[in-house]
Structure 1
Amino acid sequence: MSGFARFLRIETTGGFLLLAATAIALVWANSPLDDSYRAIRDFHIGPESLHLNLSIGDWAKDGLLALFFFVAGLELKRELVVGELSDLRSAALPILAAVGGMLLPALIAVGVAWGEPGIERAWAIPVATDIAFALGVLALVGSRLPTAARVFLLSLAVVDDLGAIAVIAVLFTETFSVLAAAIAVAGLACYAYLQHRRVRAWWLYVPLAVVVWAAVHAAGIHATIAGVALGLLTRVRADAGEEHAPAVRLEHRLQPWSAGLAVPVFALFAAGVTISADSLGAVFSSAIPLGVVAGLLAGKFFGILGASALAVRLGVARLPGSLSWRDVAALAMLGGVGFTVSLLVAELSLDGEAAELAKAAVLIASAFAALAAAALLSRRNKVHARGAPTEPSD
């Protein structure tokens, strides 16, 4: 394994690359070379006969992000079968926190932008939490926090992503081809059979995955769903004499490509919004962008923290002994970092200037949430570094 691949597996690296790609996109799109940015992003390539004559931006959104969602699907499957989410009692707190962190932002977005054209789908923009960026911030400034903090955030983000995936599948399937869907189902069944038979030939899996992806895209379902489905069908339990299960091996090999290529390239072509005094003013004076900001900041924070407190108070979940409520509050603020999936939903749900303003709102809210969470986590990090006792009631 190369040193560069190991470097890309460090959680802070994915966050830094995502941030760098976003910064490049913003500078490029607001420079004298902005025409070249849009020309590259909107340049179409691919076979029209297969309905794959897509723009470079769409290839990044529909193609490269499928890799990101495949890795997310692998992680979700592992957590559900052998990880923290496999035990309902242990999983109750992050699951209910994630549900609260999805419902309240959506309700706030709808409440703020009620009656606005596009809100019937744009309410989903503040629902998601960016796993890579959130874990990167935690690793950077919260290294002394208990392991339970990372487990809580990771489990919450995985459930959060599952909800976002379901939203994408339901809201953004406009046309539906039965034939293409049947081909996709057949491909997934073949993949599951090969996994069941313990076949390890990559030259079978790669073409099969491409066929499934193309069929899902042609069916009218967002193509990233193909990545999730393939991830969930991958075996996560190692056989006797097998050092690692296929899901672990694949996640180990593909995570650097996801963190180092797929997500940064998507951000490069999704985050290039025009920033001006007028556009910034429009973010805070237009209903949908304002709903996105309020949803990501207030909705995520109070949704995650409130649902966690309610679950513990009702006795359906318990707070790990190593965590305090102030730790949970800092992690709840970190949940407001939307980025990848929120930018994707903004592109899918809105068009033109409305989409640009919504993406600007995602960037502003995510940046504020990341900075506020970093300040809170840094303070908690010092408390844990001193070995000060944590009390669940604080």
Structure 2
Amino acid sequence: MSRPPHRDQPPGRAPRRPSPRLFARGSFPEASRVAEVLRAETTGGLLLLGGTLAALVWANSPWSGAYDALRDLTVGPAALHLHLSLGSWAADGLLAIFFFVAGLEVKREFVAGDLRDPRRAALPVVAAAGGMAVPALVFVLVNLGEAGDLAGWAVPTATDIAFAVAVLAVISTHLPAGLRTFLLTLAVVDDLFAITIIAIFYTDHLRLGWLLLALVPIGLFGVLVQRRVRSGWVLLPLALAAWALVHASGVHATVAGVLLAFTVPVRRRDGADGRGLAEHLEHLVRPLSAGLAVPIFAFFAAGVTIGGLTGLADALRDPVALGVVTGLLVGKTVGIAGSTWLLARFTRADLDDELSWLDVLGLAILGGIGFTVSLLIGELAFGPGSSRAEHVKVGVLVGSVLAAALASVLLRARNRVYWRLCELEERDEDADGVPDVYQEGGGGREGPSAA
């Protein structure tokens, strides 16, 4: 017996499926977790801004020599090839903590987060890919001449989530859940792509023996965490051994942080809902990463002597610096917004209610804030202390500040809409702990989503 046609459809036609929604709210547990993560990143971002400003002021003061001496002070055991400057310890050592947290976040998102649904993963993955490919292309186009240098093509490809959310905090803009989730997951996927680029394209001399040897402590670490061992006195020595061996192999040592993170199980052993080991470790290590590791790296990496407006203008005449600025400001905007528009065009997805393409443009420009990983790639591409590495710093700072300023204007213009949406998301008329907007029939949209 055939079914009658859908009441809203002409006879003989199947019912239309609801259009997928871009930047939908997602689940309440995921929205709550994202809000908690972004609160931690906001604090870390403000500390990052403080470290950056302190470095810039000191490096451009009459005591700039003391800053250089501190950054270049070498410590560590020479016998283990770890007699490194403090700047190198910050870049190679402290940022490994940052990438460990990023690795945990990546794995958790794709195993247990909303991104385990391919439809929801599509938007941040496509946007991150576009937001890395287009800035790299822009940098290459600017540096095609004899005066250019293509080695820094990857510098403008990274988005700094801590810096971005710190800007949102400063301008008092409260993004609704869908946009917050998109921003965080975009940065997570961006970090994954960035560490892949560092491992593949910025490894000059690979010592395969040391790299194979590094698999031993990484494997032991993985076996222990799979057995849900949480003892720091057991795990930390293995992590340090893995980091030292990866460093000796010629691969950038931050890769060790990601490899270790990928071994950590996300789900609980008993299969019940609740915090797994990955989320437990992330909760423990994220404050160390956001509150200490990244700000200290920024302090040692951002201290460039600008030399006033004349020095700034001279640095920006370098195609490398100009490529970084245009890559962050133009490339990121076109890449993120353009790839999002193409996804909507070819999947016939609609923006979520009360959002507009102006919101997408504002987030795309905000994605042009590239700092931590951009500075790291600049040093890997041109060498610490080189003139072009210094010009990269200028380009990253100028591009990030311009992106922050333009994004602030656009997002502040929509702030009244954001506050209304956030109040709706936080309202719980049933007092059951879950806002009605996240529940079926409570005003939220369940069903297909591309965000």
Give the alignment's TM-score, normalised by structure 2.
0.81
Any conservation in 2 of the 1:8–1:259 contact (CA below 8 Å)?
Answer: no
- For 2:390, which of 349, 356, 359 is the aligned residue? 356
How many angstroms does 1:232 deviate by? 1.5
Deviation larger for 224-233 or 191-200: 191-200
- Give, as a single letter, the amino acid of the residue that structure 2 aligns with 1:335: G
Give the equivalent residue in structure 2 for 1:271: 302
- Spell out the pairing of 1:312-327 with structure 2 (5 A cutoff): 312-315=344-347, 319-321=351-353, 323-327=355-359
Match of 2:314 in 1: 282
CA contact (8 A) 2:136 2:327 kept: yes
Aligned: 1:252 with 2:274 = no
Range moving further from structure 2, 188-197 or 30-39: 188-197
Q: How far, CA to CA, are the matches of 2:174 and 2:160 in structure 1?
A: 22
Determine whether 1:194 maps to 2:224: yes
Amino acid at match of 1:202: G
Alpha-carbon contact 1:21-1:265 (below 8 Å) kept = yes
Match of 1:46 among 62, 76, 79: 76
**Residue number in structure 1 paired with 2:404:** 370
Q: 1:148 to 1:279 in 2, by over 3 A?
A: same
Q: Which whole-Å CA distance do the structure 2 matches of 1:166 and 1:7 have between them?
A: 23
1:311 matches 2:343: yes
Q: Answer whether contact 2:194 2:373 (CA < 8 A) is retained.
A: yes
C-alpha distance in 2 between matches for 1:321 and 1:121: 43
Does residue 1:12 correspond to 2:46, yes or no?
no
Cα contact 1:130–1:337 (8 A) shared by 2: yes
Are 1:74 and 2:108 an aligned pair? no
For each residue in 1:177-207, what CA deviation from the matched residue of structure 2 results, as whole angstroms up to 9, or x when unmatched? 1221111112211111112222222211000
Tell me if structure 2 keeps the 8 A contact 1:118–1:349: no
Match of 1:178 among 192, 201, 208: 208
Q: Per the alignment, in what secondary structure is the counterpart of residue 347 of structure 2?
A: coil
Q: What SS does the corresponding residue of 1:314 show, helix, strand or coil?
A: helix
Q: Classify the secondary structure of the residue corresponding to 1:213.
A: helix
Whole-angstrom distance in 1 between the partners of 2:47 and 2:336:
27
Find the aligned partners of 2:317 and 2:413 in 1 and give their Cα distance. Answer: 34
Aligned counterpart, 1:138: 168
Q: Which amino acid aligns with 1:272?
A: G
Which among 321, 324, 329 is matched to residue 292 of structure 1? 324
The reply to whether residue 147 of structure 1 matches residue 177 of structure 2 is yes
Give the Å deviation of 1:142: 6.0
The change in CA–CA distance for 1:173 and 1:318 in structure 2 (over 3 A counts) is farther
Which one of 213, 219, 232 corresponds to residue 249 of structure 2?
219
CA distance in 2, matches of 1:148, 1:373: 17
Which one is further off, 8-17 or 90-99?
A: 8-17
2:16 corresponding residue in structure 1: none
Alignment check: 8 A CA contact 2:41 2:161 kept: no
Counterpart-to-counterpart distance in 2, 1:114 and 1:316: 37
Match 2:156 to one of 97, 105, 126: 126
How far residue 95 of structure 1 moved from its aligned partner, in angstroms, is 0.9
Contact 2:142 2:148 in 1 (8 A): no
- Correspondence for 1:3: none
Contact 1:12 1:136 in 2 (8 A): yes
The C-alpha deviation readout for 1:256-309, integer Å capped at 9, x for no partner, is: 111111001000010000112332112331111101000000000011000000
Q: 2: distance between equivalents of 1:112 and 1:118? A: 7
Residues 300 and 335 in structure 1, CA contact (< 8 A), matched pair in contact too = yes
Aligned to 2:368: 336
Distance in 1 (alpha carbons) for counterparts of 2:380 and 2:174: 39
Equivalent residue, structure 2, for 1:109: 139
SS in 1 for 2:414: helix
CA deviations on 1:202-244 (whole Å, 9 max, x unpaired) are: 2110000000000000000000000111112111112336852
Structure 1 residues 174 and 317, CA gap change in structure 2 (3 angstroms): farther
Write the letter of the residue equivalent to 1:310: L
Contact 1:11 1:139 in 2 (8 A): no
Q: Matched residues in 2 for 1:132 and 1:362: separation? A: 15
Does residue 1:381 correspond to 2:412, yes or no? no
Residue 377 of structure 1, CA deviation: 1.3
Equivalent residue number for residue 12 of structure 2: none
Please provide the CA RMSD for this pair: 2.2
1:202-213 equivalences under 5 Å are 202-213=232-243
Counterpart Cα distance in 1 of 2:164 and 2:399: 13
Shift of 1:140: 4.7
Distance 1:139 1:317, change over 3 A: farther
**1:89, 1:317 within 8 Å by CA — same for their partners in 2?**
no
1:391 corresponding residue in structure 2: none
Determine the C-alpha separation between the residues in 2 that align with 1:66 and 1:7: 19
Q: Deviations over 1:57-94 (max 9, x none)?
A: 00000001100111111111111111132111011111
- 1:302-342 Cα offsets, whole Å, 9 max, x none, are 11000000011010866444532111111001000001000
Q: Distance in 2 between matches of 1:322 and 1:256?
A: 34
Matches of 2:139 and 2:38, distance apart in 1: 35
Asked if 2 retains the 8 angstrom alpha-carbon contact of 1:126 and 1:295, the reply is yes
Aligned residues: 384
Instruction: List runs of 5+ in structure 2 lacking aligned partners.
Output: 1-35, 423-451
Q: Structure 1 or 2: larger helix share?
A: 1
Aligned to 1:262: 293
Change (3 A) 1:151 1:386: closer
